[in-house]
Amino acid sequence: MTATSDSSAADSVLPRRQVLADDVYDVLKDWLQSGHIEPGSRVKIDTLAARLAISNTPIRQALGRLEADGLVHKQPYRGFVAASLPDRKTIADMYECRLLLEPPTAARAAAAVREEDLAFLRAHAGADERPQDSADLDALVKADELLHGRLATMAGNTVVADTLERLFARSRSFRSFYTREGAVHTTRLEHEAVILAVSQGDGPAAAAAMTAHLEAAAERMLGSLA
């Protein structure tokens, strides 16, 4: 067999393996964030491989990526363990980080706004009523994350966008504040204030609106743990 045919054969196999690894990563990430894999529990590679009817290799690959995301940890003699839920201080620290990053990001987004950006932001501003089931809650959480991520993208800062995605992954299981009375409507109003400032190209107002939103969200988040 020639070198050229060897290369062609490899090219036809590698993409399929990559797709499988990505699919496994997505499934395990969803299970970890939804609580389907309980926080602090041991993540058994053999069990997961049997459940998904695949080999151990893509499971190990996915867990390596999830470890980088902070969703699992590798412990001596135990293997991979699902991350524990963040405590109050960790959540407060996450919002402190977001307050450092997102207000100036919103200000920069206001200087580069386009109509398609505004349409996206308005579509993901949130709902007016509390979620009725887990699907509604998942949709609200995803919309919130997409809105904040889009602002970072508009600002042209991929580092902020990547950082936010990691913070969202760690805090997603605590987004239950959306089920509290009035929280969903209040969040929507806060988002709309940010969007209005961005739409007007008013950087300082966008930064101020984002600051107010994150401070209030932190209070709601921590209040949901009481």
Predicted confidence (pLDDT) per residue in 66-101, tens digit: 988 888 989 888 899 998 877 889 889 999 999 999
Write down the domain spans for the chain.
Answer: 3-82, 88-223
> In 3D, which of 146, 40, 152, 18 has the Cα closest to residue 87?
40
pLDDT tens digits, one per residue of 114-143? 999 999 999 999 887 777 766 777 788 889
pLDDT digits (tens, 9 = 90+) for 160-200: 999 998 888 777 766 655 556 678 889 999 999 999 999 99
- Is 132 strand, coil or helix? coil
Architecture of domain 88-223: Up-down Bundle (1.20)
Residues 23-48 have a mean pLDDT of 87
Specify burial of residue 221 (Cβ count, 10 A radius: 0-12, 13-18, 19+): buried
More confident residue, 224 or 125: 125
The owner of tokens 């401070």 is 215
Closest CA to 103 of 210, 193, 216: 210
Is domain 3-82 annotated with CATH 1.10.10.10?
yes
Pairwise CA distance, residues 71 & 51, whole Å: 20
Decide if 3-82 and 88-223 have a common fold. Answer: no
Neighbours of 90 (CB within 10 A): 13
Among residues 109, 182, 176, the alpha carbon closest in space to that of 148 is found at: 109
